[in-house]
Structure 1
Amino acid sequence: MMKSQVALLYVLIIMSGGLAQSLKPRRSVFFSDVNLKLFKEPDFDSLSSLLVREDIGLLFIGARGKVIMLRLDDITEKTGETEWTVSSEDKSKCKMKGGSIEHCDNYITMMHTRVDGKILVCGTKAFDPNCTLLMVYKGNVTMENINDKGRWKVPSNPEEKFASMLDGSDLYTAASTKPHGQKVLFQRHGENSMKNEEELFLSSKPNMISIHLAELSKSSEDHEDDNVILFFIENSFEDPRQLQVSRVARVCKSDIGGRSILRNKWTSYLEVSVDCPFGDIGSPSLLQDIFFLRDENNLMNSIFYATFTLNTEPSSTCNQTAVCAYKLSDIRQVFKGNYMATTSSGHWQKYTGEFRSPYPQSCINDEMRQSNIRTSRDFEDIVHRFAKHHPLMEGAVKPITGRPLLVRSAAQFSRIVVDKVTSLDGQQHNVMFISNNSGWLQKAVWSGDDGGRIIEELQLFQDPQPIRFLQLSSRSGQLYSATRTAVAQLSVRDCSRYTSCADCLTARDPYCGWDRLRGLCAAVAGASNLSMIQNLTDGDVGICPNSHWSKIIDIHTTVDVAQFLPCSPDTNLPISWSFSGNILEPGPRHILLSQGLVLTPSFTDEGLYTCETVEVVKGREHRMAVILYNIKVSEGGGNWFQAIIIYILACVCVLCVMFIIYVCWKQKARNLVGSSSESDDTTDLTGSSSKSDDTTVAVRVMIPLQPELKTEPCHCGNSGPKNQDNSSGSGTDKTKSTGRKRGQNLLFKTDL
């Protein structure tokens, strides 16, 4: 009997050895337990754009050959659909250009809301991009019959990345202008159309990320013209190795080009590298997405939140990924630094020559206006000639903390949005929502006191797939995410997963607080301090109402017979065990695992065993009971019923093993008929089995295992927590389950 118990302990110890503690989300919520809404149709497999319209309560989805309208408060309700397809003749022409059957359709890749409420829509139109307008009136959507060529606005290939921004009547785009991305332009379409010098991106093969407007004219002391800021990745043209590097570029909104040099081209274009230091030295961190969080009180304090990865392969699941943040004022300061210039040998180095005042590529400000320089055409040609050959600045933009806010070694971060949340004490907190390429969403915050932490991660899509779009409606507190095949709606103010006051407060979720009147964790938005408590500083649970733990499980066990006591908290926090009020230390009779406790008791081990989660917040330790066991120990001979059951089970297992060996022997003998030497080998094999003193059998034991979400070191394979539910999504609300993780089968061997 003891041999089997020792074997069990050996297997459990091996399993727990690979589950080392590391930085991870506080809680992981699997698909079946996330309270969300899903939209999915049978032929819906090519979502290519997403637009939130809070003013009319609609979510617009751009797909292949159509635009779909969903209710913003419940995306399972489809309100309309308008088709925009291509003719068979257009498809034939597309194939002649080298397009595939799949790509020779009309993918709606861009949607922007105009000032008049109409929606500018652009599609690939069988490798001949086109744009039109959608009009929304009393819930009805119609498409204007116009023919606006979009070749210079969106790429012909729906797989190519591009960036766009609509500012009033001006459309800014950064996209390839030829079918296979041979030529990339950063342009402004409108009354004063502009583009970059064509040689700028000729050899750097840029990958455009996003475009943003910084309205400096409203906040800067010298009333500098507004800046248009572009983030992208390109091959470093100043590095002989041509490594990819992350960049940020800037042009002035009022730039209208030069008089003769750079006519109808940007005269204010400057670019600089963006640094996010993590991973191995020398490994470039590559931009994936940007979110611009504006500070309404001081625009200079506005922050760009960015996701990065060290791997260029989007399908990889085993590379570090990070989030860095950059202040607008820091970016602006770098663009006032030193220029880079090329030498006669073609190398780039710091520019040490002279140039006239005002500073080349500067945006118009009050000082220039006093000197009668009111537009870019008022600069002398020598200034524009310098700008043409000096687009690169020295150095790099550094993150505000000097390091990333978050670093993980899991599925790569893809999209990011940030919500500004006001807590009960009136303080504002920036909550980050970060998607990855396996269908999961991270909810995280960062503070200067304890750094970045992931409050929870949510599995939004059952099948592992990249989340391609992420948009937030701060007004309603709804988050919308989309893959190529489905759209999910999630309430960011859902606090129902915190089941106790202690759990609610120690999570330090800016959205949530404990409602003392209703006795539950609820959203603090609009709540009163009289009925709600919240502590985001240190998660002190001393202000919680008194609560008593009543769930005690009685366990009757036998002396020297190992007993497994499972403990599966609904968080990823480490667990600790106490015995009769004292912390339990590991020993020969107490094997502590991340999933529970293996107890091999003596009579002195009778008593109360408590499993608790342990969470340290700013030096203060918080312990919360998960489950209690009242252990009662009896003599080994007294438990005759258990012995009989184990004996019968062992006999059955021995018979099963003998039967399997017999079947295998028969199959082997049948395959080796006619070969005497091989027949002898078979006889030796079966004979050796019969000579064994002990028979090895397989026994299946159910042990509840808490999923471990490791970040260091990285192990390739699964990119996130293993999905333990096989339920399928639908277009309706999913019923919320208990949240308790299921057990897993453990197969081990024992000698009988």
Structure 2
Amino acid sequence: MKEGLSNVSTLLVNEETNTLFVGGRGAVFALDLNNISREIMQSTTLCKFYFSFQIRCQNYILCLHKINDSDLHVCGTNVYYPTCDHMLEKLKRAKCPFEPAQKHTSGFVDGEFYSATSNNFLGTESIILHSMRNPVRTEFKTSWLNEPSFVNMEIVHESESNPNGDDDKIYVFFTGTAVEFEFYDKLLVSRIARICRGDLGGKHILQRWTLFLKSCLSCSIPELNFHFIIFQDIFLLSRRKWQDSIFYGIFSQQWGRLDISAVCAQSMKNIQEVFSKGSYKGPVTVDHSPVKWMVYRGEVPVPRPGACIDNFARSVGYNTSSDLPDKVLQFVRDHPLMDNSVNPIGNRPVLLRRGSNYTRIVVDRVTEYISFYVDDGYLHKAFSYDGEMFIVEELQLFLSLEPVQSLRLSSEKVELLSLHMESNC
């Protein structure tokens, strides 16, 4: 590891300039992708001090996103005062966690920054935020986000060649504590949340996300009663047609054998079906009993709550989210959860591995094969062929076995870049 580079937490590959950017404590390093031992540049990130006493600068770089070939969007903890740099402009709203142990994810799309993180020092207020002149975020309600552990964020360009004039979507993946089930203990569930890129918030009611919906992601073996409900990582394998894209996720169990990892594949078609046609679920009070979550059986308002502004919405006079009627906003505020889960392709995992705790996955399509890179300190390479998955290679990545914090695949060079966390990398 490069001298002076410690507490590494994020990687960014720029194929055009053959550069690997590495974010750590107090600095961003630019390394030659052809020879990562050769340093191209080092940019030191200084902290601002907001305390009356002297404190060591602890600015952990947690987010790196490419703006263009020469500019990056960088976010750091900045001594518990999260700050981002974008073309020398300081953005003061929290877009990364207050400290590096808090789970987070982010995305940078066409000059716009999205983040799923904590909004306060204690990590008790979780938000999904779109940073713009008038930022839009989730409600501080357990029915929206309940103790989420954010995993990943991806954009799907659903507006491309779309006959319905639909909007692009931001999908956020996380594990959260279930609120819809009555259970003796905290029950964790894997979630997928959907946001429309054109959502500007409501005018009077719900001056937050007005088009926010979420659902459960299922990954199980029904006949064995194995339910993998804890998200570890997810990867979007994009196809030429966005409808054919597939999400590959790593899941583990909350109880039972904890050394089993499952990889499930979720298709865009199944995800769309749940959000566009599925029933809603919401909290109700029944005979003065505790709140129960039940399927909504009544009349659904028009336009469909949570649906992006499309040709139909525009045809009836709703051109932006701020035009939507109050009854639609009230409904989606109280019914953010879909009743149906998103089931995996084939209704079962594409890969099941005993004795391994997988933490990260990247996927590359090679001719008729799909290769998985999944690891728990070892790197396992698997091929999917003729409906079956075969692990064909195993490599130990580091001298000491450590969970890998980040994986990036350079598809042009067919190289896999990884890092793990040590006190002195």
Q: Same fold (TM over 0.5)?
A: yes
**Residue 114 of structure 2: aligned partner:** 172
Q: For residues 143 and 22 of structure 2, what CA distance do their matches in structure 1 show? A: 31
* 1:162 matched to 2:100: no
The alignment-based identity, stated in percent, is 33
Describe the shift of the 1:310–1:405 C-alpha distance in structure 2 as closer, same or farther (beyond 3 A). same
Do the aligned residues in 2 keep the contact of 1:109 with 1:123 (CA within 8 Å)? yes
Which residue matches 2:129? 187
Find the counterpart in structure 2 of residue 431 from structure 1: 371
Q: Report the residue type matching 1:339 in the other structure.
A: Y
Equivalent of residue 215 in structure 1, options 130, 136, 157: 157
Out of 393, 402, 406, the residue aligned to residue 465 of structure 1 is: 402
The reply on whether 1:69 has 2:30 as its aligned counterpart is: yes
Matched residues in 1 for 2:54 and 2:273: separation?
Answer: 47
Alignment-derived partner of residue 177 in structure 2: 235
Residue aligned with 2:369, SS: strand
> In structure 1, how many angstroms separate the alpha carbons of the residues matched to 2:305 and 2:227?
33
Residue of structure 1 equivalent to 2:338: 393
Give the distance between the partners of 2:318 and 2:69, measured in 1 at CA.
33
User: Structure 2: how far apart are the matches of 1:191 and 1:90?
Assistant: 25
Q: Distance in 2 between matches of 1:157 and 1:94?
A: 18
1:441 matched to 2:379? The reply is yes
For the residue of structure 2 that corresponds to 1:218, the secondary structure is coil
Partner of residue 406 from structure 1, selected from 347, 351, 362: 351
Q: Secondary structure at the match of 1:261?
A: coil
Q: Which runs of 5+ in 1 are unaligned?
A: 1-39, 96-100, 135-143, 423-427, 488-729, 731-752
Give the aligned residue type for 2:413.
S
Counterpart selection for 2:191 from 205, 225, 247? 247
Asked if the contact 2:280/2:338 (under 8 Å) is kept, the reply is yes
Specify which structure has the higher proportion of helix.
1
Is 2:265 the counterpart of 1:325?
yes
1:275 to 214, 218, 222: 218
Measured in 2, the distance between the counterparts of 1:108 and 1:429 equals 36
Corresponding residue for 2:9?
A: 48
Q: Cα RMSD (Å) of the superposition?
A: 2.5
Matched residue type, 2:332: A
Give SS of 2:271's match: helix
TM-score where L is the length of structure 1: 0.53
Q: Which amino acid counterpart does residue 199 of structure 2 have in structure 1?
A: D
Aligned length: 417
Secondary structure of the residue aligned to 2:16 is: coil
2:36 alignment partner, SS class: coil
Give the C-alpha shift of residue 148 in structure 1.
2.9
> Separation in 1 of the partners of 2:83 and 2:320?
32
SS of 2:344 mapped into structure 1:
coil
Contact 1:317 1:412 in 2 (8 A): no
- Secondary structure (helix, strand or coil) at the match of 2:333 reads helix
Q: Which amino acid aligns with 1:105?
A: Q
Determine the structure 1 residue equivalent to 2:417: 480
- Alpha-carbon distance in 1 for matches of 2:144, 2:300: 27
Contact 1:115 1:168 in 2 (8 A): no
| Structure 1 runs (4+) greater than 6 angstroms displaced | none
Could you say which residue in structure 2 is the equivalent of 1:356? Answer: 301
Q: Provide closer, same or farther for how the CA distance between residues 262 and 75 of structure 1 changes in structure 2, counting only shifts above 3 A.
A: same
Q: 1:301 to 1:388 in 2, by over 3 A?
A: same
Opposite residue 462 of structure 1, the aligned amino acid is L
Q: Describe the SS at the equivalent of 2:20.
A: strand
Higher alpha-carbon Rg: 1
Partner SS, residue 413 of structure 1: coil
Tell me which residue corresponds to 1:632: none
Q: Which residue of 1 aligns with 2:278?
A: 337
Q: Match of 2:251, as an amino acid? A: F
**Residues 141-196 of structure 1, C-alpha deviations (whole Å, 9 max, x = no match):** xxx4x5432x4201101111101000112111110011121101111002452111
* Alignment-mate amino acid for residue 65 of structure 1: G
CA contact (8 A) 2:126 2:145 kept: no
How does the TM-score come out when normalised to structure 2?
Answer: 0.92
How far residue 105 of structure 1 moved from its aligned partner, in angstroms, is 0.7
Cα 1:203/1:69, change in 2 over 3 Å: closer
Distance in 2, matches of 1:417 and 1:77, equals: 25
Separation in 1 of the partners of 2:382 and 2:191?
Answer: 25
**Measured at CA, do residues 326 and 318 of structure 1 come closer, stay the same or move farther in structure 2, by a change above 3 Å?**
closer
Q: Distance in 2 between matches of 1:148 and 1:218?
A: 31
Instruction: Give the drift of 1:358.
Output: 2.0
